[in-house]
């Protein structure tokens, strides 16, 4: 499709539990481009959606037991009106659409209204444990886009090899995070994220330290968590200023990739870029994508085994000068390359 001279962008947010799409929208506006934002979760849902979804699921399972099916939440008319009202010539989806609107209807709407359609794939790796849903997303939704941008080089390469649609590797960024007013460190190690067994096993090795753990689903795994580790867990998610405060007040921000991501050597998540933006010290598990973007030991630190993780935690707790130097270097690199303003400046010519 031939691009319009004046971009009018509409962002459809499919993952509004995090502020990523809003942050991108704000940076687009700061670049002088017209941009509207819609949270798909806030659009009016179909009447009696939950019982309809339950009934459709039963029918689908009995007729097509091997296929994934999800009843879209939003009436087609509501979705069409929202897009038409924006008069956008570029629609940029963050996350996914299949849970909100019928894929075939999006194709119809795209042809009727003549907009270009792009996806920022932020969640495909979360589907690795749900094979049918992942295949549906890749085989049904990916092909409707003019181009896909993925936070994962593995997923971008996978899409290109399958010839589903043109895919670009496009790592995350972060908003600027104001510097701390209080530089005192309250914790040795700070981890935030939902529980899985890999994370539990690694964190069990850090119980001797002043470690604090936030996130969800820890209670569901309580029976396989030691009493020593249980004392360090607060089952609560943190966002915004509260999260930034913990990033500032911890000596080491520990990032442990989800098991599915780690298994295919991908997944530079938002936490990495938020930590750099906060000027904090990051220790994360190694993958090649990490080394492609950062110099290990200069901008961030990484580990390839639990033993190396423990050794580096011990070392950097004791060596604050080296830890703080790496944090300063990481913050400088963030401002040079990974603020959302810088990421959006790279994105806009590709739309």
The model scores a pTM over 0.85: yes
Q: Say if residue 163 is in the same domain as residue 55.
A: yes
Domain end: 138, 170, 202, which one?
A: 170
The tens digit of pLDDT for each residue in 110-161 reads: 999 999 999 999 989 888 888 889 989 999 999 999 999 999 999 999 999 9
The dihedral formed by the CA atoms of 291, 297, 303 and 307, expressed in degrees to the nearest 10: 160
Same-domain status, 240 and 265: yes
Q: What pLDDT does 182 receive?
A: 83
Q: Are residues 302 and 257 in the same domain?
A: yes
Distance CA 311, CA 313 (A): 6
For the chain, give the mean pLDDT.
92
- Nearest-CA neighbor of 21 among 175, 193, 126, 177? 175
Q: At what angle do helices 306-318 and 320-333 cross, to 10 degrees?
A: 100
In a domain, 119, yes or no: yes
Tens-digit pLDDT profile for residues 163-207: 878 999 999 999 999 998 888 999 999 999 999 999 999 999 999
Question: What is the CATH classification number for the domain harbouring 147?
Answer: 3.40.50.2000
Q: Are 198 and 151 found together in one domain?
A: no
- E strand spans, 40-173: 90-94, 116-121, 147-150, 167-169
DSSP 288-314: HHHHHHS-BTTTBEEESSHHHHHHHHH
What total number of domains does the chain contain? 2
Domain membership of residue 163 (yes or no) is yes
Confidence of residue 3 (pLDDT cuts 50, 70, 90): very low
Instruction: Give the number of other Cβ atoms within 10 Å of residue 189's Cβ.
Output: 21
In terms of residue numbers, what domain contains 40? 8-170
Quick one: which H or E segment has residue 330? helix 320-333
Residue 115 CB neighbour total at 10 angstroms: 23
Burial of 63 (0-12, 13-18, 19+ CB in 10 A): exposed
Q: What is the DSSP letter of 235?
A: -
Does one domain contain both 141 and 206?
no
Token output for 102: 């019928």
Q: Evaluate whether residue 333 is within a structural domain.
A: yes
* Residues 117 and 150 both lie in one domain: yes
pLDDT at 39 over 70: yes
Looking up tokens 């031939």 gives: 2
Residue whose token pair is 């200069």: 298
């Amino acid at each position: 499709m031939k691009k319009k001279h004046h971009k009018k962008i509409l962002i459809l947010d499919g993952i509004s539990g995090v502020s990523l799409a809003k942050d991108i929208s704000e940076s687009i506006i700061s670049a002088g481009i017209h941009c509207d934002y819609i949270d798909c979760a806030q659009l009016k849902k179909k009447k009696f959606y939950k019982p309809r979804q339950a009934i459709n699921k039963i029918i689908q399972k009995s007729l097509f037991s091997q296929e994934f099916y999800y009843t879209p939440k939003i009436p087609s008319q509501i979705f069409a009106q929202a897009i038409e009202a924006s008069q956008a010539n570029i629609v940029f989806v963050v996350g996914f659409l299949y849970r909100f609107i019928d894929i075939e209807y999006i194709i119809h709407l795209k042809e009727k209204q003549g907009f270009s359609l792009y996806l920022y794939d932020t969640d495909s790796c979360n589907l690795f444990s749900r094979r049918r849903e992942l295949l549906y997303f890749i085989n049904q939704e990916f092909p409707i886009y003019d181009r896909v941008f993925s936070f994962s080089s593995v997923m971008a390469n996978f899409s290109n090899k399958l010839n589903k649609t043109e895919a670009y590797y496009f790592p995350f960024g972060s908003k600027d995070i104001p510097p701390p007013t209080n530089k005192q460190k309250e914790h040795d190690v700070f981890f935030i994220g939902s529980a899985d067994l890999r994370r539990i096993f690694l964190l069990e090795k850090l119980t001797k330290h002043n470690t604090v753990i936030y996130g969800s689903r820890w209670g569901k795994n309580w029976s396989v968590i030691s009493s020593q580790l249980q004392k360090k867990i607060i089952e609560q998610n943190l966002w915004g200023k509260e999260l930034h405060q913990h990033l500032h007040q911890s000596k080491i921000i520990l990032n442990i990739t989800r098991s599915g991501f780690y298994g295919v050597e991908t997944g530079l998540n938002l936490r990495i870029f938020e930590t750099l933006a906060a000027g904090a010290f990051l220790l994360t598990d190694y993958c090649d994508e990490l080394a492609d973007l950062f110099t290990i030991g200069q901008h961030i630190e990484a580990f390839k085994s639990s033993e190396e993780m423990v050794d580096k935690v011990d070392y950097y707790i004791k060596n604050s000068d080296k830890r703080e130097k790496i944090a300063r270097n990481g913050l400088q690199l963030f401002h040079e390359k990974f603020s959302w303003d810088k990421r959006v400046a790279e994105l806009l010519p590709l739309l």
